[in-house]
Amino acid sequence: MTTASHALTGVVPPLLTPLTAEGEIDLPSLERLVGRLLEGGVDGIFALGSSGEVAFWDDARREAVLEAVTGTVAGQVPVIAGVIDMQTDRVIQHVRAAERFDLAGYVATAPFYAVTGPEEIERHFRAVAAATERPLWAYDIPVCVHTKLSPAQLLRLGQDGVIAGVKDSSGDDVSFRRLAAANRAAGSPLALLTGHEVVVDGAYLAGADGSVPGLGNVDPAGYVRMHRAAQAEDWAQVRVEQDRLAQLFEIVFQPTDKVGPAAGVGAFKTALRELGVFSTNVMASPMTPIEGEAVDRIREILAAVGLLDGAGARA
């Protein structure tokens, strides 16, 4: 059996975690968000990813998120879950805690905090995969873990059935194309998803099987239309959709006093609040929400791409 049968492809947004003013999981907002994604036609949902603020949740909160997400999604599409932590045994601890939920697989990064080399990375993924029957995805995100997974290592892990696919957030498109070409030459043991919201079109040309766009929380239908156009090889339309989504992505550059997820995820949450999907744009501690003129500029961008009408109500 190859892992390819497990493969989840298409549009798989990394689900945001809406919070109440008190910082608790906001279930009504979560239900509206999931509804919006399903209505938009997404192929799956990635819970507890970086956009879901996974790094900020303690273990109890992580379980509460999985409980809420799997309960809300209720099997309508596959849900995969991030098991993000520093090193192997901690990742396996998260796998064990998640086994009781209805999940289609796990997503793990290379080890971080302690410096590790290729040997440790190889043993890490093999040990995590051995701890579960469910498919494992490799999450290549050097901006967070400060290690780049090599195409050769990823392909070997795929061929050995250790990982089912790769979520590429490396920003290294040369590496991604090399991986895509090598994967194709090897019979496509890996499903390849890109996490870069504004160059998904190029990733499709390179051979991506889908995308995991944080911005897909804000406009799932846009990413689904782009994916359908790519499958139909209607590249002119792919480009039109991508250009529009790139315009929308400018929301993350509006806060001038924030970096990292406080800016990016903060902008997504703010947009969803303005669109009436979220009740607040509250962020996990120690982050604070976007306020002031940046909110106005986010509204203008939402209006410019047709998500918000001129009067400010949801279009």
Give, as ranges, the residues between 93 and 132 that touch a second copy (CB under 8 A): 93, 111-117, 119-124, 127
Residues comprising the chain, all counted = 315
Q: How many helices and strands, by DSSP H and E, does the chain display?
A: 12, 8
Q: Enumerate residues 47-86 that contact a second copy by CB under 8 A.
A: 50, 53, 55-61, 84-86
How far apart CA 54 and CA 80 sit, in angstroms, is 13
- The size of the interface with a second copy (CB under 8 A), counted in residues, is 72
- Residue 19: CB minimum distance to a second copy, A: 12
- Residue 71: CB minimum distance to a second copy, A: 22
- Residue 235: CB minimum distance to a second copy, A: 3
Q: Is 306 in the site for a second copy (CB under 8 A)?
A: no
Among 186, 276, 288, 315, interactor with a second copy by CB under 8 A: 288
- Residue 257: CB minimum distance to a second copy, A: 8
Q: Is 134 in the site for a second copy (CB under 8 A)?
A: no
- Residue 313: CB minimum distance to a second copy, A: 26
Q: Which pair of tokens denotes residue 284?
A: 């996990």
- Residue 61: CB minimum distance to a second copy, A: 7
Among residues 106, 158, 147, 152, the alpha carbon closest in space to that of 128 is found at 106
Segment contacting a second copy (CB under 8 A): 2-10, 74-82, 143-151, 271-279? Answer: 143-151
Beta bridge partners of 314: 308
Query: Do residues 132 and 95 make contact, with C-beta atoms less than 8 angstroms apart?
Result: yes
How far apart CA 130 and CA 144 sit, in angstroms, is 24
Specify the residue, 43 or 173, whose C-beta has the smaller distance to a second copy. Answer: 173
Among 71, 148, 239, 289, interactor with a second copy by CB under 8 A: 239
Among 284, 290, 295, 307, interactor with a second copy by CB under 8 A: 284
Long-range CB contact pairs, 96-101, < 8 A, 24+: 96/131, 97/59, 97/62, 97/63, 98/63, 98/66, 99/132, 101/66, 101/67, 101/70
Specify the residue, 242 or 281, whose C-beta has the smaller distance to a second copy. Answer: 242
Residues near 234 by Cβ (< 8 Å), separated by ≥ 6? none
Specify the residue, 73 or 245, whose C-beta has the smaller distance to a second copy. Answer: 245
Q: Is 247 in the site for a second copy (CB under 8 A)?
A: yes
Query: Do residues 212 and 46 make contact, with C-beta atoms less than 8 angstroms apart?
Result: yes
Q: Is 167 in the site for a second copy (CB under 8 A)?
A: no
User: Could you tell me where the beta strands, DSSP code E, fall in 110-186?
Assistant: 136-140, 165-168
How far apart CA 274 and CA 312 sit, in angstroms, is 8
Binding mask 255-274 for a second copy (x = CB under 8 A): --xxxxxx------------
Binding mask 30-49 for a second copy (x = CB under 8 A): --------------------
H/E run at residue 244: helix 235-249
Q: Is 146 in the site for a second copy (CB under 8 A)?
A: yes
How far apart CA 32 and CA 37 sit, in angstroms, is 9
Specify the residue, 104 or 302, whose C-beta has the smaller distance to a second copy. Answer: 302
Specify the residue, 21 or 236, whose C-beta has the smaller distance to a second copy. Answer: 236
